Each structure stands twice: as C-alpha cells, then as structure tokens.
Amino acid sequence: MSSPYHAGPISEALWQRALSRIPGGVNSPVRAFRGVGGEPFFVNKAKGCTITDVDGREYIDFVGTWGPAILGHAPQVVIEAVTETAKHGTSFGIPNPLEVEMAETICRLVPSVQKVRMTNSGTEAVMSAIRLARGFTGRDRIVKFEGCYHGHVDSLLVKAGSGALTLGQPDSAGIPASLAALTTTVPFNDLEALKAVFRDQGPEIACVILEPVPANAGLYLPEPGYLNAIRQLCTEHGSLLVFDEVMTGFRLAPGGAQEIFGITPDLTTMGKVIGGGLPVGAFGGRADIMDHLAPLGPVYQAGTLSGNPLALAAGLAQLKEMERINGWAHLEFLGAQMEESMRALIKGKPLTFQRIGSMFCLYFTEGPVRNLADAKQSDTAAFARYFHAALENGIYFAPSQYEAGFLSTAHSPEVLERVAKALPRLLQII
Ligand code: KE4
C-alpha cells in the first residue's frame, strides 16, 4: 500500500510552524488530513483547475476551495472585478450599490427568495436562518438530518457531517445539552421517521433544515418524491422548510437544487459561489418571514462586513460569467464525461460513484449510498490509500471519504481524460 504522500520541504517547515501557533495547524479541521493520514501541503497559488504548492508541485484540483471556484481558480473576470473594486475601498459599513445588485440577482435566480440578507459565511447564514425561523414561528425545535452539515452552528452540530463526521465528532463538545435537546435528527430518505417526528413533536417544530442533496457525508441524492413529502409535512404543521444550498446553490442550476427538484422552500441559505472565493453567505426567502429581521422586526441579525463590496464584486462577476457562458450546461457535460469513465473503471469493484451535475463522490463501498449509515460502510482506509496515490499522481481529491468533489468550467475534457487514464493505477493499489 502506498505510504502517505510527502509534501515538499517548504510545506513541511510551514506545517511545523503552523502546528505551534494554530490549533491542529489549520483554520478549518477538514484541511488537516486527519481523515486520510499524512500531512497537508501548503498552497499559495492556483489557476483554472490547477493548484500549485509552495514547493512548486502542481495538482489537478477536484475540491475547488470546497465549492466557490465554479469557474476554476483566479478567473480573469473575478480578478478584474475585485481589483477594480478594491481601488475605491474595501469596506464602508454603509450601504453600497453592489448589495442592491447582489440582492436583485439572487432574487432573480432563486424565485423562492423574495428578500435576502448577506452574511460572511455559510455558518452565519444558517445560524441566522434558524434564529429567524424560531422568531417567526415562536417555536423552538429544529429538525435536521443525520450526516447533513450546516456549518458550526451550535444547534446543528448534532449528528453533523463534513469535518465533524471525519473527525468522529458529529456531536461537538461545548454544546449545552439543553440546546442540543431542541434538535431532533432523522435519517435522510426515511420518510416514516420524519412523519413520526411530526406526529410526536409537530406543534413544536420551528423548521426542518436540510441539504436538498446531502454532500457532507460524500454525496447522496433524495429519493423520488422525498423532498416534496418534506415540503408537504412542513406546510401541514406550520413549520418552515429551510434548504441549505450553501454548496448546491448557483452550482447545480442557476436556481440551485430547488430548481432541479421543483421545490419551494420557505428559506434558503447560500454561500460559496456567490462570493467567488471571498468570505460570503446569504439567507433569504418569503418576504413576510424576512421582514421579521431587524431593523424591521424583532429578530436581531447583523454583521460588520455583511455585503462587503469585494466579496460581492467577486460573486457578481462569477454569476454573470456563468450566465454568459451557460456554465451549468458545460458543467453537466463535464460531469457526464467523468461519470462515464468512472463507471467503466469501477465495474465489478466494491466501489460506488454518485453524481449530480458538477458534484460527485466515489464511495469505497458496494452502495448504493442513500444516507449516512450507508456512507459509513465505506472502507476509509482504502479511500486514504487512493487519496494519497492520487496526490502522488498530481491529483487532489477532498481529504475525506465524507466530502464531495467539485468540477469547474476550467476542467477541460482533456484534463478529465488524463485523470481517467491515471485512475486504474490508483484503484489497483486499493
Ligand atoms: P461556511 O461557514 O464554512 O462558509 O459554510 C458552512 C456550510 C453550510 N452549509 C453547507 C451545506 C456546507 O457544506 C457548509 C460548509 N462546507 C464545508 C465543506 N463540506 C466547508 C469546508 C470546511 O469546513 O473547511
């Protein structure tokens, strides 16, 4: 079995310094390679679908900074927009025109969003959305799904996915038991379990929040009719339906997963793509709900840098370019090419490849993977060997079995063909 990939000397020296001053050496746990072993490399430049580490080694990047880089890294349109905007200041703390343009753009692309407020991260967007749901309904209970990750929001670090799952800490320390007790979790794709929760707790439920396509335990899809059934249950019980589209939003379609599946949530949380790689989040939905937010209504929510002109310039440039080139059609073309080659490669092997649009996951288990319990059947040791073998071949996949991969419009058919040719070697060592 291949040993963990060894980063170059400059990365290794930086890693030792990082470990002495940053908890675990990282500013976000999933970057620490804890799920795959070995030590992370450091990157200081990226272009298109390629990242370059500080020792000059290049990798084809299938993480895309966890979703924002939908046009690939450092797209010219984003660099120019940020550069031009920065010349006139980086933050005003006063309304700026880009906030109006971004709000109008989001509401145009996502019809369920009648009003929207910007934040500085997906976590902030989700935290604000559930506070708003509680304030609007006067109810306290939140329902979430095992394996879904919604940022490090206290109420939602319960059976959470992503880094929490990778580290084996789906229920974080530091969350008061009294708060966690207000969160009910159910398995995804299990409608009977959700119906039972509504039977027992319906009048208490402020909202049901989910990733319409869970992508923080790998990637699995809602079964036919499941999302619509959740919509109906929420409507019947006066609970709000919150779609967390921080990852799927503006990626799976201009209007995100809700456009693909034809569902109208009451609130949507967003992020990543609309910041073009700069810190951003947003939450929006029905105007009658959103108008409960301060300064209009009783639900307080705020942010010094919310609506930051640089982040909005980057996000708007990215959205405009995606519309100009119809990037979503191109991403589907690339995703279909990748899926075809992956399926041919894994035939007869204990592997499952699941994809929607430009998001994918190769599970090291028979599959199909329908929920967290299925995903946890994966052979994470085999995944780790695959991950490091890929690095040796200049390919960077997400450093955890419980993360999704991302294509960008910068991943050419030729690049995907080159990766497909390398994969048999990677899979042989499993
Ligand atoms: P941020 O606070 O990290 O901007 O967004 C939190 C968030 C909310 N909702 C969903 C569906 C998300 O996927 C995320 C964050 N995604 C992870 C990747 N699985 C971020 C990577 C990290 O934690 O470093």
DSSP letters of 352-385?
Answer: EEEEETTEEEEESSSS---SHHHHTTS-HHHHHH
Give yes or no for residue 321 having a pLDDT over 70: yes
Can you give the pLDDT at residue 315?
98
Can you give the pLDDT at residue 2?
56
Q: Separation of 428 CA from ligand 1 center, angstroms?
A: 32
- Of 222, 257, 241, nearest to 142 by C-alpha is 241
Q: Separation of 421 CA from ligand 1 center, angstroms?
A: 31
Q: How far is CA 231 from CA 190, 209, 370, 415, in A?
A: 14, 11, 19, 40
Q: 197 pLDDT band (50/70/90 cuts)?
A: very high
Closest ligand 1 atom to Cα of 211: 11
Average pLDDT for 123-146: 98
Q: Separation of 199 CA from ligand 1 center, angstroms?
A: 31
Closest ligand 1 atom to Cα of 272: 4
CA 360 to chain centre: 12
- Residue 297 per-residue DSSP state: S
Closest ligand 1 atom to Cα of 126: 8
Each residue of 343-394: pLDDT tens digit?
Answer: 999 999 999 999 999 999 999 999 899 999 999 999 999 999 999 999 999 9
Average pLDDT for 44-48: 98
Can you give the pLDDT at residue 1?
45
Each residue of 6-25: pLDDT tens digit?
Answer: 999 999 999 999 999 999 99
Q: What are phi and psi of 399, to 5 degrees?
A: -80, 45
For 62, other C-beta atoms within 10 Å of its C-beta total 20
Can you give the pLDDT at residue 99?
98
Which is catalytic among the residues 115, 144, 159, 272?
A: 272
* Higher per-residue pLDDT: 94 or 429: 94
Q: 258 pLDDT band (50/70/90 cuts)?
A: very high
Whether ligand 1 lies within 6 angstroms of the CB of 121 is answered as yes
Tokens coding 203: 């009048």
Atom 20 (ligand 1) nearest CA: 66
Give yes or no for residue 259 having a pLDDT over 60: yes
Pocket test for ligand 1, best of 28, 66, 153, 242 (most atoms within 8 A of CB): 66
CA distance 97 to 328: 27
- Residue 14 per-residue DSSP state: H
Indicate if 149 belongs to the active site.
yes
Q: Exposed, middle or buried, 236 (CB in 10 Å: 0-12/13-18/19+)?
A: exposed
Closest ligand 1 atom to Cα of 31: 24
Can you give the pLDDT at residue 429?
64
Tokens coding 112: 């369920």
- The alpha carbons of the chain give a radius of gyration, in whole angstroms, of 21
Cα diameter, the chain = 61
Whether ligand 1 lies within 6 angstroms of the CB of 228 is answered as no
Contacts of 141 (CB under 8 A, 6+ apart): 182, 183, 184, 201, 204, 205, 206
Closest ligand 1 atom to Cα of 269: 9
Each residue of 83-126: pLDDT tens digit?
Answer: 999 999 999 999 999 999 999 999 999 999 999 999 999 999 99
For 196, other C-beta atoms within 10 Å of its C-beta total 12
Q: Separation of 290 CA from ligand 1 center, angstroms?
A: 23
Contact 117, 290 (CB under 8 A): yes
Tokens coding 238: 């006066």
Q: What are phi and psi of 336, to 5 degrees?
A: -65, -40
Sheet of strand 115-119, all strands in order from the earlier edge strand to the far edge: 115-119, 281-285, 267-271, 240-244, 205-210, 141-145, 183-186
Give yes or no for residue 241 having a pLDDT over 50: yes
Contacts of 115 (CB under 8 A, 6+ apart): 103, 107, 284, 285, 287, 290, 291
Domains of the chain: 9-62+326-429 (3.90.1150.10), 76-323 (3.40.640.10)
Indicate if 5 belongs to the active site.
no
Pocket test for ligand 1, best of 22, 126, 149, 269 (most atoms within 8 A of CB): 149
Whether ligand 1 lies within 6 angstroms of the CB of 211 is answered as yes
Can you give the pLDDT at residue 159?
84
Q: Separation of 29 CA from ligand 1 center, angstroms?
A: 11
How many CA within 13 A on the CB side of residue 90?
A: 3
CA 386 to chain centre: 22
Give yes or no for residue 395 having a pLDDT over 90: yes
Which is catalytic among the residues 5, 59, 159, 244?
A: 244
Q: Separation of 152 CA from ligand 1 center, angstroms?
A: 8
Q: Separation of 322 CA from ligand 1 center, angstroms?
A: 22
Lowest-confidence region among 44-53, 76-85, 170-179, 414-423: 170-179
Whether ligand 1 lies within 6 angstroms of the CB of 271 is answered as yes
Closest ligand 1 atom to Cα of 245: 11
**57: phi > 0 → left, psi -120 to 50 → alpha, else beta; which?**
beta
Element at 99 (helix H, strand E): helix 97-109
pTM for this one? 0.98
Lowest-confidence region among 98-112, 154-168, 213-227: 154-168
- Quick one: what percent of the chain has pLDDT higher than 90? 93
Q: 428 pLDDT band (50/70/90 cuts)?
A: confident
